[in-house]
């Protein structure tokens, strides 16, 4: 479920969700899970700060959307068999800059496609495909709003 290499690369879990433990944790091996709080990601700057801090973006990170996507598609500084980003309180994500939400989701989807379609062989040249997913923890109503308003159809 959360460790797939195919779309959708952005998924939802309700804060009250009860999911089987086997779906909640990655398979054995070297996997990277990053957990962030949407309450501290209300602006573009805060998103960059959280991702940079939690995943260790390199010092050359340029603090703009192009540089953000470049880092999401690289991760040569943190090789892993898969990447999972969990954003708690996702209803607060980009609250102060809602016009940036589409750009944020576009970067996340592009990074997921990049890793999932074997466009990156940084981590495992034999395997090629690497799961790269984001889970937004928010209630069902907010998730439906995001899906209908911001995520591409299909």
Residues of 7-31 as b/e, b for ≥16 C-beta within 10 angstroms?
A: eebbebbeeeeeeeeeeeebeeeee
The domain that contains 89 carries what CATH number?
3.30.370.10
Asked, for residue 123, whether it belongs to a domain, the answer is: yes
The number of residues making up the chain comes to 154
Q: Are 26 and 84 in contact (CB under 8 A)?
A: yes
Q: Quick: pLDDT tens for 32-48.
A: 989 999 999 999 999 99
The answer to whether residue 31 scores a pLDDT higher than 60 is: yes
Asked, for residue 24, whether it belongs to a domain, the answer is: no
Asked, for residue 61, whether it belongs to a domain, the answer is: yes
3-class secondary-structure state, position 109: helix
Asked, for residue 1, whether it belongs to a domain, the answer is: no
pLDDT of residue 7: 75
Asked, for residue 83, whether it belongs to a domain, the answer is: yes
Asked, for residue 125, whether it belongs to a domain, the answer is: yes
Range of the domain at 45: 10-14+31-149
Q: Quick: pLDDT tens for 39-96.
A: 999 999 999 999 999 999 999 999 999 999 999 999 999 988 889 999 999 999 999 9
CA distance 28 to 25: 9
Asked, for residue 22, whether it belongs to a domain, the answer is: no
Asked, for residue 21, whether it belongs to a domain, the answer is: no
Instruction: Provide the number of structural domains found in the chain.
Output: 1
Please state the pTM of the whole predicted model.
Answer: 0.83
**Maximum C-alpha span of the chain:** 43
């Amino acid at each position: 479920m959360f460790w797939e290499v195919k779309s959708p690369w952005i998924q939802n879990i309700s804060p009250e969700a009860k999911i089987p433990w086997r779906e909640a944790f990655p398979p054995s091996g070297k996997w990277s899970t990053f957990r962030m709080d949407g309450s501290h990601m209300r602006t573009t700057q805060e998103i960059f700060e959280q991702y940079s801090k939690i995943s260790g973006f390199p010092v050359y990170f340029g603090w703009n959307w192009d540089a953000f996507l470049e880092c999401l598609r690289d991760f040569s500084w943190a090789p892993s068999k898969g990447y999972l980003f969990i954003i708690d309180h996702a209803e607060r994500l980009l609250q102060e800059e809602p016009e940036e939400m589409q750009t944020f989701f576009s970067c996340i989807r592009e990074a997921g496609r990049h890793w999932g379609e074997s466009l990156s062989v940084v981590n495992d040249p034999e395997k090629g495909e690497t799961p790269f997913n984001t889970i937004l923890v928010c209630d069902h109503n907010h998730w439906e709003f995001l899906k209908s308003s911001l995520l591409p159809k299909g």
